[in-house]
Amino acid sequence: MLARSAVRLHALSAKRALGSRLASTKTLKETLQEVIPAKQEQLKKLKTEHSQTVIGDVKVENVIGGMRGLKSMLWEASVLDPNEGIRFHGMTIPDCQEKLPAAPGGKEIIAESMLWLLMTGKVPTEAETRQLSQELAEKGDLPAYVENLIDSLSPSLHPMTQLGIGVAALNHDSVFQKAYERGMKKTEYWTYALEDSLTLIARLPALAARIYRNIYKPGNELPAIDKSLDLVGNYTNLLGYGANKDLTEYLRLYISIHGDHEGGNASAHTAHLVSSTLADPYLSYSAALFALAGPLHGLANQEVLRWQLAMQKELGDNITHDHIKEYLWKTLKSGQVVPGYGHGVLRKSDPRFIALQEFCDSRPDLLASSTIQLVKKTFEVAPGVLTEHGKTKNPWPNVDAASGCVLYHYGLTEFKYYTVIFGVSRALGALTQVVWARALGLPLERPKSLSMDALQQLIKV
């Protein structure tokens, strides 16, 4: 009897504590419950009043050129302008650096504050950010069946392949899939998609770190998730670099500003496409990861580093701007591209590259690094050479011109793993859109394809 009374008292106290917390700090889900109706109404108005408005023309080059530049996809959290770069709900990267909460004792944006902004369009408070960090840490442990699966894979299997396998396997626990099978209202889809998405984001550090350990540091013990740390703080700790505060801060910045880059890139579009079939967030994002693994998408940062190190090896110490100019022309005349320069949309320097450069400029050890100095000197020379060459639409650097080189400086030198870090970051934006696609009731993607003969017929008409 006394035991039952104690249980009731404990439950009542917990309920009161929860009520007190909710009164002062909203959860991400509660904030979305406030935001979603306004977005639903906006979409309804667009459909009703403007569904026949023409916003662009389709040319033959669009059909045979990978649909490049076609305005044909709804993506709420970010818009990429060719001249201004990325904006997250209208906020530039400097805006985000100024307004989004950092980790305790840190200065850089953390993934949780960026995720909150992407999901809701609102800047979270310090308390809301900490609450989300705690929620993700509580969900962060991998199930034993995924640990066993990843441990069974050959270390010769590419880390991105392993990451995609692990994410797909987590679908075993999908609450969206289970709720769909037993029957749920369409208005409830987003809540289950959100629960899956947060669980997946929470588990990515443990999954990605286990892959790193198995391939590169076999035998090392993986620490437990620290419930007091933010998502990236735990990720760095699991990788074995927790004592390196500068690397942790760098990864916080990198993962946050790399978290979303509008919906037309291959990995984001893949997640959107697969999710439109009502596949759960795990299956949708595993597909996105396999798109990210392609050489024309996520492998760029490691290619930049290979090219930079090859230049260092050939030119030796005391590399001048003239030396770099000669090496750039040698690369171009051999029929190769200069990795890290040019972008499918941007026509100016990538603001993400600028943010990473400013990070480097604020740290004496990075300023003294020959690799980082080479990145900076290349930036001072390459746009002029590429402009003179005349075959590059955008001669300015993208984020990959700097990202891998900083990881290399801090000792994370395993090139093949860099795309995994990209995969951890891009989940923030891709999974945000999975939730919003369900909240807005977006339909199955189904563009119309044409053969070359059909195109010829249309041209004649």
Would 83 be classed as within a structural domain? no
pLDDT number for residue 18? 39
Would 41 be classed as within a structural domain? no
pLDDT number for residue 366? 93
Cα-Cα-Cα-Cα torsion 216, 222, 223, 225, nearest 10 degrees, comes to 100
Cα-Cα-Cα-Cα torsion 418, 423, 428, 434, nearest 10 degrees, comes to 170
The beta strand positions in 19-99, using DSSP E, are 78-81, 85-88
What does the block give as tokens for 439?
Answer: 């909240």
297 is catalytic: yes
* CA 9-10-11 angle, 5° bins: 90
Would 117 be classed as within a structural domain? no
Would 345 be classed as within a structural domain? yes
- How many independent structural domains does the chain possess? 1
Domain that holds residue 317: 300-409
What does the block give as tokens for 327?
Answer: 């090496």
Would 373 be classed as within a structural domain? yes
Q: Which residues of the chain have pLDDT under 70?
A: 1-24, 461
Q: Which of 343, 361, 365, 409 is catalytic?
A: 343
350 is catalytic: no
CATH number of residue 371's parent domain: 1.10.230.10
Residue-wise pLDDT for 30-42, tens only, equals: 999 999 999 999 9
Would 278 be classed as within a structural domain? no
Would 385 be classed as within a structural domain? yes
Q: Which of 258, 269, 400, 409 is catalytic?
A: 400
Would 444 be classed as within a structural domain? no
User: DSSP for 422-455?
Assistant: HHHHHHHHHHHHHHHHHHTT-----PPP--HHHH
Cβ partners under 8 Å of residue 155, min gap 6: 214, 215, 218
pTM over 0.85: yes
Q: Which of 297, 321, 389, 453 is catalytic?
A: 297
| Terminal-to-terminal C-alpha distance of the chain | 86
Residue in 216, 272, 253 with CA at minimum distance from that of residue 362: 253
The sign one gets for the Cα dihedral 34, 38, 43, 48 is positive
